[in-house]
């Protein structure tokens, strides 16, 4: 049965609600920092915002494959790099809501100084990469690898930007250089639904389902070079996307 959320007016209301609650959520995170610490504040308040967004906008999500990962990953004892396809601006908050362990994003350094976004990133422990020149970029990758070895889980979209068609774009090499440097497993992921729920270039959120699927970890040390590692991870993500599409309800 259609609801007000399925109308253009409903889409505008949901977009306005999402935009209004972002600064309120960031303020709540910052207020909680003195009591919980930065990361606990973010990963306590942030997922509540993301789940509230999914509930209000009627975007139910499912996470499949988590229970098949090694226990050290599920318990947070083994840091990993989650790599996923990227269909929508809604992907990051949906992953924050769905992932059972804290995981931060890698972002360009300039976002660190954007009000609210940068503040939330500071609290979460986002790894900011300086892409100003090649030498600083390489140094940033080494610093990021050290943080990952120190226990941070990271989410990377290897396409580098959202697909405008729903078809995966070519992968960037930086995330795989980071994985080889960090020496931690890559967990391939697929997200399905974002292209329909919040298409590129649109501010209107449409009700719909989100599927998130995880595959078996890929260990960088088992691959001879960056190209071979990238090819393997891409093949696994493509297979997960195909599985998700084949199991998606016809009305989703």
Name the superfamily (CATH) of residues 4-247: Glycerol-3-phosphate (1)-acyltransferase (3.40.1130.10)
**What is the pLDDT at residue 102?**
94
Question: Which helix (H) or strand (E) segment is 6 a member of?
Answer: none
At 101-150, the pLDDT tens digits run 999 998 888 888 999 989 999 999 998 887 776 777 778 888 889 999 99
Single pTM value for the model: 0.91
User: Which pLDDT band holds residue 2 (cuts at 50, 70, 90)?
Assistant: low
CA angle (233, 80, 180) in 5-degree steps: 60
Residue with the larger pLDDT of the pair 166 and 133: 166
Alpha helices (H) along 84-173: 91-98, 117-124, 134-149
Q: Residue 140: how many CB atoms within 10 A of its CB? A: 21
At 15-47, the pLDDT tens digits run 787 778 889 999 999 999 999 999 999 999 999
Helices 8-36/117-124 angle, 10° precision: 50
DSSP state of 154: E
Question: Which helix (H) or strand (E) segment is 108 a member of?
Answer: strand 104-108
At 67-109, the pLDDT tens digits run 999 999 999 999 999 999 999 988 999 999 999 999 999 888 8
């Amino acid at each position: 049965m259609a609801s007000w959320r399925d109308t253009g007016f409903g889409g505008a209301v949901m977009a306005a609600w999402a935009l209004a609650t972002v600064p309120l959520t960031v303020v709540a995170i910052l207020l909680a920092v003195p009591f919980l610490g930065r990361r606990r504040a973010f990963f306590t308040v942030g997922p509540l915002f993301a789940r509230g967004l999914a509930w209000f906008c009627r975007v139910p999500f499912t996470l499949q494959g988590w229970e098949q990962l090694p226990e050290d990953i599920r318990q947070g004892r083994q840091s990993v790099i989650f790599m996923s396809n990227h269909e929508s601006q809604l992907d990051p908050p949906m992953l924050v809501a769905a992932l059972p362990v804290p995981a931060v994003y890698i972002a360009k350094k300039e976002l660190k100084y954007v009000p609210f976004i940068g503040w939330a990133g500071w609290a979460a422990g986002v790894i900011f990469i300086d892409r100003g020149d090649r030498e600083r970029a390489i140094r940033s990758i080494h610093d990021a690898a050290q943080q990952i070895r120190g226990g941070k889980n990271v989410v990377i979209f290897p396409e580098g930007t959202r697909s405008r068609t729903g078809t995966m774009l070519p992968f960037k090499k930086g995330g795989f250089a980071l994985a080889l440097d960090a020496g931690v497993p890559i967990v391939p992921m697929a997200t399905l639904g974002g292209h329909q729920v919040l298409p590129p270039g649109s501010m209107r959120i449409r009700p719909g389902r989100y599927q998130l699927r995880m595959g078996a970890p890929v260990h960088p040390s088992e691959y001879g070079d960056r190209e071979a590692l990238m090819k393997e991870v891409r093949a696994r993500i493509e297979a997960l996307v195909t599985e998700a599409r084949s199991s998606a309800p016809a009305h989703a």
